[in-house]
Structure 1
Amino acid sequence: MKEGTATVVRREDYAPPAYWIREVELTFDLDPAKTIVASRLHIERNASGPGGPLVLHGEDLNLLRVQADGQSVSFRHEDNLLVIDQPPVAERFVLEVRNTCAPAKNTQLSGLYESGSGLFTQCEAEGFRRIAFFLDRPDVMAVFKVTLRADKRRYPTLLSNGNLLEQGELDGGRHFAVWHDPFPKPSYLFALVAADLVAREQRIVARNGREHLLQIYVNRGDLGRTEHAMASLMASVVWDEARFGLPLDLERFMVVAVDDFNMGAMENKGLNIFNTKYVLADAATATDDDFFDIESVIGHEYFHNWTGNRITCRDWFQLSLKEGLTVFRDQEFSMDMAGDESARAVQRIEAVANLRRSQFAEDAGAMAHPVRPDTYAAIDNFYTATVYEKGAEVVRMMHTLVGRDGFARGMKLYFERHDGQAVTCDHFAQAIADANPGSALSEHLDVFKRWYAQAGTPRLHARGQWDAETRRYTLTLRQDNPPSPGQANKLPQLIPVQAALLTPDGHELAQRMLVLTEAEQRFVFDGIDSAPVPSLLRGFSAPVVLDDGLDDEGLLVLLKHDADAFNRWEAGQRLALRRVLAALPGTDAPVLDAAFIEAMRAVLNDGTLHPAFRALALTLPDEAYIAEQVSPVDPARIHAVREAMLDQLAAALQPDWQRAWAANQVREGYRPTPLQAGMRALANRALAMLVRQAVASGDPVWPGRAYQRVKDATNMTDRQGALWALIGARSALAPQALAHFHSAAQGNALVLDKWFSLQAMAPEAPGDAGAGVLGQVRALLKHPDFSLRNPNRARSLVFALCMGNPAAFHRIDAAGYVFWAEQLLALDVMNPQLAARLARALDRWNVLAEPCRSAAREAIARVAAKPDLSADLREIVTRALETE
């Protein structure tokens, strides 16, 4: 597991394997201490391959026996490889391998591992080699038949991929189950589960009349919290067949929830294994956001059945082929499920805000990489926002360029060409282009594909000039892309720009899509009778940073009148950001001008706007996004300025917040609908501002109301919202409210995660030279409910501080960096994937202001100096130091 150095894998070095595995028969005798795995691999020589020895991957396995066609065969077992220098000369042969593994000792949660009293697998990206010896690479696709044998009392549920062929009793209180997946798949999509679980079941009939069984397996006692997950799964099946003509292709589809899981979920063919966070929900324990995330993630993993499973990646550099496309598909699903245009717009805004918060920062940091990377040392490090979220934006641009119907034609052609194959991002882009001849995508495909090859976030500069005499408006667009690690000079990319021209009173003069393919181009609008206000990049039509030169007056026009909800929200964010940036260089608190306050008041009181939109529009840009706009970065100053702005908005709009609070109380029973969720979001935003103002003025009424709501709320959204209002305002009632919340959370791991996270995300008090939030987090590490071994719990506390609370983490005394290094090294011993993700908290250390910059570098260097780091962690810290 530990390596001093890691081999760099290069995309340009890809070569097909010397051998294919066409069929796999696996037999498991399951036991947490020693599981015996017997493999029968039907191997075929690659006629066009290089020949030579047969090399199989295997990690932390105890090899017992190797035979070829029933005969002993000479082999070498070294460096996590099983090498047969002289395999049988026949074109096809059967290799039998017998080995053991130890699930109970597997703290990496990769391969076959124990969680609670059950056994589970996670094989993406390279976990299967921790189960059995195999050609563990995504272009080797085989049909699997799996026999599971185990103690029936301990493991009454035995599941694997595909369709159940047979099950029965064995001697000694044991039983067995035989599963067969008729569709060839790579080993990373293999899964098995052996546990004591119960299932919610639902039978559905597809459009072709075929009946399917849907099952969601959970621990006993959790079945009552699976209704929403099942509804989401049914909706996903229906949507994919209706929108893209892609039906469920197996007799059954299973989802299993597990407490210990490194990721959100995994799309193993027909047997999706999920983090409990994305399955379990009811009104008392899950927020509106949790309900939305469950619907989204259930959809995402189900949609992988075709975009990822039926067609998979040729190699791991093509990861966005499945992930970017499937994120796009789950976003479209969620927007379609939202219903009306206002709710759809809110979801688009939230997706873009997440992209900017995570991916834009990644593009500007040490781990910047193209959507299709060129090299990696540990592939687990490239499950990134760039591959997923930016990859989805690349697919969305294709959709924009060819239209909804054109994209559907492209998807159809993609499956006609490549079903059952392992292919590349180029194959997908070519199919969309070929299905739409004459489109901008088809005509400029080579330029468009630079989105896959170039890292960084392009800058789009726009300047317009109106000529009254000719009634002509000329818009000049110019693009540039700053240097990234390993990429100094970049070529122009294809940028679709949805554009409109507005009059100062909001009348739309023109609307069209502009396609920028060169470094600079001019676009002419004729028949324009007055100087317009440009509304550019509508719907966020490309993942770029826009500089359109608009002054406050122009932005206020967009905020008040733009028919495009995204640009309306964006105008408000830019107005707020402009004021934050103006205040940062000084030391005084910012003073918000009347024009901005009145603009916010108008949005807050506009009952024609969706309440969720108003809640988003009244939310200031977060501290991480603000930090991306400046260099050097002083997290404490950013925090102080933003907090001061919140204080002023709370005071200036107090009567408006009270009206919003009263008008957005949900009177009917809880449902996680877009309208109800929007009303709760706006009410909780109002409550947070009212408590903030009350604490500042010494008024006990609103803190008291918030505390009562923590105790009496009938749903988790309102309970957590009220608790955060007290924490965010640093109310004296916050400790009591936290104690009450913790008492009510007993026995529910996901609610306890919220309790830990709320404390780790608490705002740092201005000028606090004491232990602060970090001291509280250190104390919570010793809490009996905390365990670093559980990924959800680690994320809820350690990650929440280091990655979600900049002011509390980037302390000038360097205590935050000492804490980071300690937790990083502790995690790396047991779970390198999790450690590598935590290491990303210091991706942008080199833009920090002193003394934080030097202290952060020293902390990274101390970690990098350790000789026994995992390959995952070493790659991150090495790349971080290279950015100096």
Structure 2
Amino acid sequence: MSEPQPTRLSDYHPPAYRVTHTELTFDLDPAATRVKARLHLERHPERAADTPLELDGERLALEAIAIDGQPLDEGEYALTDTGLTVHRVPGTFRLDTEVAIAPEANTALEGLYQSNGMYCTQCEAEGFRRITFYPDRPDVMATFSTTVIGDARREPVLLSNGNPVERGELPGGRHFVTWEDPHPKPCYLFALVAGDLERVEDSFTTRSGREVTLQIWVEEENLGKTDHAMASLKRAMRWDEETYGREYDLDLFMIVAVNDFNMGAMENKGLNIFNSAAVLTHPKTATDAAFQRVEGIVAHEYFHNWSGNRVTCRDWFQLSLKEGFTVFRDQCFSADTNSAPVKRIEDVSFFRTAQFAEDAGPTAHPVRPDHYIEISNFYTLTIYEKGAEIVRMLRNLVGWEAFRQGSDLYFARHDGQAVTIEDFVGCMEEASGLDLAQFMLWYSQAGTPEIDAFGEYDYARCEYRLILRQRTPATPDQHDKRPLHVPIHLGLVGTKSGHDLPLTLDGEALGSDAVIHLREAEQEFLFTDVSEAPVPSLLRGFSAPVKLRFPYSREDLAFLLANDADGFNRWDAGQRLAMLALDDLIAAHRNGVEKVMDPRVTEAFRGLLNAEVDDRAVLAEMLTLPSEAYIAEQQPLVDVDAIHAAREFMRQGLATALRDDFLRVYRENADDAPYAPEPEQIARRSLKNVALAYLMAIEDEDGIELAREQFAADHNMSDVRHALTLLVHSSRDELSEPALKAFGETWAHDPLVMDQWFAIQVTRPQPDVLDRLKFLMHHPAFSLKNPNKVRALIGTFAGQNRVNFHRLDGEGYRLLTDVVIELNRLNPEIAARLITPLTRWARFDEERQALMKAELERIRAEELSPNVYEVVEKALA
């Protein structure tokens, strides 16, 4: 497996044979599950009669094979490690195979595997080939009939896609259930779950009057943690009806919570399989962020029923067709359900930190890649988050009415089909009448566009001239970039009035808030009748996924922070102001000179703390400094220690100067009302906890007492976890150790809460954290075979504790490499995802570069899975 070959978009061809109906029978056994498959096949009319039948298959023991009831001799077919070829077949026929697989040995968690005694499947992207021989590609869509046979005591619940049509008892204490899914689907949407589960049941009445049964299946001890997921599902179903006109199409919708799962959740038709972390919530065990995450993921997977299931992708290069569109849909749902400005700030903050870094690294790729070695490596932020930003731009370009008409046309025209991004954008062109040919470049060009903006006000003519220049830096495999169609949402804020000024462009009155269109490498926009000198508010709402540079002075940014009508740009002005001051502090640390706090930042924060509060959640975001990861992305060379020192200096400086204000804000927002994950309560908690974090930054005695009280009150997990984090991250062991011990003992029985306990400890800024991590790897609650544990302990350390992961002794790099090498054998998909911090070696100083490259070389020396091989090769190219 040392040199796997890439799959290329240019090589796509339709399947030689399509499956019209699939019949599956599973006789479950941990060591030897037998899978009988009956495929009804027909040859593509343009293929020759002597075209062989080629099916995908991995790690399958073939027991029997027959065509139209006639067993095949060994010379009539060929087996390899990757599939089955039948040399001669009729134009229309029935293929029967029987294979044996071992779910208990499947640590990769792809195909059919066991999780704590429960059978579970994960077939996206290419896991079905580990279940039976099949054309494992998304453009082969068939109806499915599935019979699951299991032990009636060990597996009393037997689930699959669609509706149950038959069940019964069998000899030897076994039983069966047969499921029928009437909607054609690709095999990646197949699902099976079997085990000892309990269900929570509810119902939903569609707008056409149909009654849909809703079920959430969990282990018995988790029955009290499903209320929020069920309520979220019903809200999502109603929202999709009202916003997109989409009704659910089966009589039954099921969610199953699984402890061992590589992804967050999976939209299998009618039977969504969820990582337990993405479905289980309770005020005592889940934070506000977890409640909101569950709501968003439940909605996302439900929305896939149309944007992904009823209409799916022709090939995996079109992955963002379903994922980008569905992320956009779930973002809009969450914005409508909670605080829209905060949702946008959170999404963009994450995007600019993580996706921009992906675009700037060795694994950069377009939203629609042109080749891949291992498709699971392309479940990336570029595909999901940048794909969503492209759909958002498209919505804004054509307008909501045309976008809705375009989506209706898309769903109606392509229902039951596997299609391409061109099909989706083409429906938007047809509905809007716009030419979107240049816009399509967003899907094929990798990298983050950079826009340099310059403005000048002519006092005599009352004109404002805005010049925009765009460029996209070269990325691996793409050096020449073309100009994109970039929508720039903007306003001009009058420096006297503090309000948006009317906009007139080329003689057309645009109102006080408008979108201009940058299509060339350089364009000039002349606004007339501008009554006073303005400060431009550019890229409002983050109207395009670009890096914008404008020569704002610090006074300009403080002005926008106080006056901009766009909530997102107010927040962004504060971030930019803080970044300018942080740049000074980073330079001072690097040069060994005294650090000095910029008083303009302090006064801007003072103004925020003392202004009338419109939205506490937005204020909490405005008071939060840029993260170390985001700061690093703004630096030409990442100086880990200088960034950490600069941010801590600013945090402590603000805390010292505004100590009384932070204490007042904490007390004003303290609330002991019964917990509810509602916007107003969440906003109060967010603002209160931001204030407490500043007080603990200087280990203020009042702050320490408040943190202790908040932890001991045990009112809800949001407050408890925040207080515990502040105590554990303090410099005083007498604060951290008792709290850690109490929390660990209280929640030792709850795997998801223990994940939080792990993460809090490995984000400590103190240098003892690496020894602590090594100790925790032997904790009874940790398992390298469980992706949630790996992400909580190893992933959190490598991704969020930058100052300790990037230690100059290289111990952080060595530990991650050891884990990746072991996981390469156990779970290649998780191993490949963990490598990411090492792949960014080129951004660091020479000493760290050498250390990281040495660890990548150590990984490359192993016998690698395609997943890990692809990432390492790109990183070292």
Residue 238 of structure 1 is matched in structure 2 by: 238
Three-state SS of the structure 2 residue aligned to 1:586 is helix
TM-aligned CA deviation for residue 370 of structure 1: 0.3
Pairing 1:530–2:532 present: yes
Q: How many residues align?
A: 858
Question: Offset at 1:589?
Answer: 5.6
**Shift of the alpha carbon at 1:522?**
1.3
Determine the C-alpha separation between the residues in 2 that align with 1:566 and 1:52.
58
CA drift of 1:627 comes to: 0.9
> Does the Cα contact within 8 Å between 1:688 and 1:726 map onto a contact in 2?
no
Matched AA of 1:572: G
Question: In the alignment, what sits opposite 1:385?
Answer: 381
- Deviation, structure 1 residue 468: 2.1
Is 1:589–1:641's contact at 8 Å kept on the other side of the alignment? no
* Aligned-partner SS, 2:399: helix
Aligned residue in 1 for 2:685: 680
1:548 aligns with: 550
Which residue number in structure 1 is paired with residue 506 of structure 2? none
Deviation at 1:711, TM superposition (A): 2.2
- Identify the match of residue 349 of structure 1 among 331, 342, 345: 345
Q: Does 2:582 correspond to 1:584? A: no
1:67 and 1:590 map into 2 onto residues whose CA distance is 78
Q: What is the alpha-carbon distance in structure 1 between the residues aligned to residue 844 and residue 466 of structure 2?
A: 37
How many angstroms apart in 1 are the aligned matches of 2:554 and 2:61?
Answer: 68
**Contact 1:709/1:722 (<8 A) preserved:** yes
Q: CA deviation at 1:729?
A: 3.0
Note if contact 1:710-1:741 (Cα within 8 Å) is conserved in structure 2: no
Check the 8 A contact 2:554/2:600 in 1, yes or no.
no
Q: Partner residue of 1:815?
A: 811
Q: Distance in 1 between matches of 2:752 and 2:204?
A: 30
Q: What's the % identity of the aligned pairs? A: 48
Pair 1:110–1:589, CA change in 2 (3 A) = farther
Counterpart of 1:55, as a letter, is E
Q: Single out whichever of 311-320 and 401-410 deviates more from structure 2.
A: 401-410
Q: Which moved more, 1:283-292 or 1:460-469?
A: 460-469
1:880 corresponds to: 875
Partners of 2:78 and 2:459 lie apart in 1 by: 81
Contact 1:589 1:644 in 2 (8 A): no
Q: What is the aligned counterpart of 1:474 among 465, 476, 494? A: 465
- Indicate whether 1:359 and 2:358 are aligned: no
Q: Which amino acid aligns with 1:626?
A: I
Which of 749, 771, 776 aligns to 1:775? It is 771
Match of 1:507 among 491, 499, 509: 499
CA contact (8 A) 1:111 1:123 kept: yes
- Is 1:717 aligned to residue 718 of structure 2? yes
- Write the deviation string for residues 550-577 of structure 1: whole angstroms up to 9, x where unpaired: 1111111110011100000000000111
1-structure distance, mates of 2:6, 2:441: 23
Q: Tell me which amino acid in the other structure corresponds to 2:719.
A: D
Listed as ranges, the matches of 1:360-509 within 5 Å are 360-437=356-433, 442-443=434-435, 445-504=436-495, 505-509=497-501
The CA distance in 2 between the partners of 1:705 and 1:467, in whole Å, is: 54
Q: Secondary structure at the match of 1:221?
A: helix
Deviation by residue 1:741-794 (Cα, 9 ceiling, x = unmatched):
111112110000000000111124xxx5xxx21121111111122111110011
1:705 CA displacement: 3.1
Match of 2:11 in 1: 13
Distance 1:729-1:689 versus aligned 2 partners, 3 A rule: farther
Counterparts of residues 65-464 of structure 1 (less than 5 Å): 65-73=64-72, 74-88=76-90, 91-338=91-338, 343-437=339-433, 442-443=434-435, 445-464=436-455
Cα distance, 1:107 vs structure 2:
0.2
Query: Structure 1 residues 52 and 734, CA, compared in 2 at 3 Å: closer, same or farther?
Result: same
Whole-angstrom CA distance in 1 between matches of 2:353 and 2:460 = 44
2:644 pairs with 1:642:
no
Matches within 5 A, 1:45-84: 45-49=43-47, 52-73=51-72, 74-84=76-86
Any idea what SS the aligned residue of 1:254 has? Answer: strand
Alignment of 1:764-843 (within 5 A): 764=766, 768=767, 772-843=768-839
Contact 2:265-2:274 at 8 Å conserved across structures:
yes
Shift of 1:720: 0.6
More moved, 589-598 vs 473-482: 589-598
SS at match of 2:273: strand
Pairwise CA RMSD of aligned residues? 1.1
- Separation of aligned partners in 1, 2:163 and 2:498: 58
Kept in 2, the 8 Å contact 1:462–1:476? The answer is yes
Q: SS of 2:454's equivalent?
A: strand
Give the Cα separation in 1 of the matches to 2:282 and 2:712.
Answer: 17
Q: Which moved more, 1:502-511 or 1:172-181?
A: 502-511
The answer on whether the counterparts of 1:590 and 1:645 sit within 8 Å (CA) in structure 2 is: no
Structure 2: distance between partners of 1:636 and 1:96: 62
The residue identity in structure 2 corresponding to 1:862 is: R
Distance across 2 between alignment mates of 1:543 and 1:669: 40
Q: Structure 1, residues 149-186: CA drift from partner, whole Å, max 9, x if none?
A: 11111101110001111112112211110101111100
SS in 2 for 1:462: strand
Supply the AA of the counterpart residue of 1:390. K
Structure 1: stretches of 5+ with no match in the other structure: none
Task: Indicate the residue corresponding to 2:846 in structure 1.
Answer: 850
Q: After superposition, where does 1:737-756 map in structure 2 within 5 Å?
A: 737-756=739-758
Contact map agreement 2:672 2:715 (CA 8 A) in 1 = no
1:617 aligned to 602, 622, 625, which one? 622
Q: How many angstroms apart in 1 are the aligned matches of 2:437 and 2:209?
A: 43
Report deviation, 1:727.
2.6
**Deviation of the 1:237 alpha carbon:** 0.8
Q: SS in structure 2 opposite 1:521? A: strand
Give yes or no for contact 2:499–2:565 (8 Å, CA) kept in 1: no
> CA offsets, 1:357-386, max 9 Å, x none?
210100000110000011100000000000
Give the Cα separation in 1 of the matches to 2:715 and 2:594: 39
1:717 maps to a residue whose letter is S
* CA deviation profile, 1:781-817 (whole Å, cap 9, x unmatched): 1112211111001100000111111111011111111
SS at match of 2:432: coil
Is 2:561 the partner of 1:565?
Answer: no
Distance in 1, matches of 2:462 and 2:650, equals: 42
Structure 2 gap ranges (5+): 503-512
Q: Which amino acid aligns with 1:873?
A: V
Give the residue type in structure 2 aligned to 1:722.
Answer: A
- One-letter amino acid of the counterpart of residue 719, structure 1: V
Q: Which moved more, 1:316-325 or 1:678-687?
A: 678-687
- Mapped contact 2:748–2:781 kept (Cα < 8 A): no
Q: How far off its partner does 1:478 sit?
A: 1.0
Moved more, 669-678 or 631-640: 631-640
Question: Aligned partners of 1:171 and 1:681: how far apart in 2?
Answer: 58
TM-score between the two structures when normalised by the length of structure 1: 0.96
Secondary structure in 2 aligned to 1:435? helix
Q: Is the 1:650–1:690 contact (alpha carbons within 8 Å) kept by the matching residues of 2?
A: yes
Q: Give the Cα separation in 2 of the matches to 1:542 and 1:397.
A: 6
Q: What is the SS of the residue equivalent to 1:322? A: helix
Separation in 1 of the partners of 2:121 and 2:755?
23
CA distance in 2, matches of 1:13, 1:103: 34
Separation (CA, whole Å) in 2 of partners of 1:176 and 1:542: 52
In structure 2, C-alpha distance between the alignment counterparts of 1:567 and 1:94, rounded to whole Å: 61
Q: Contact 1:304 / 1:322 at 8 angstroms: preserved in 2?
A: yes
Most deviating of 611-620 and 297-306 = 611-620
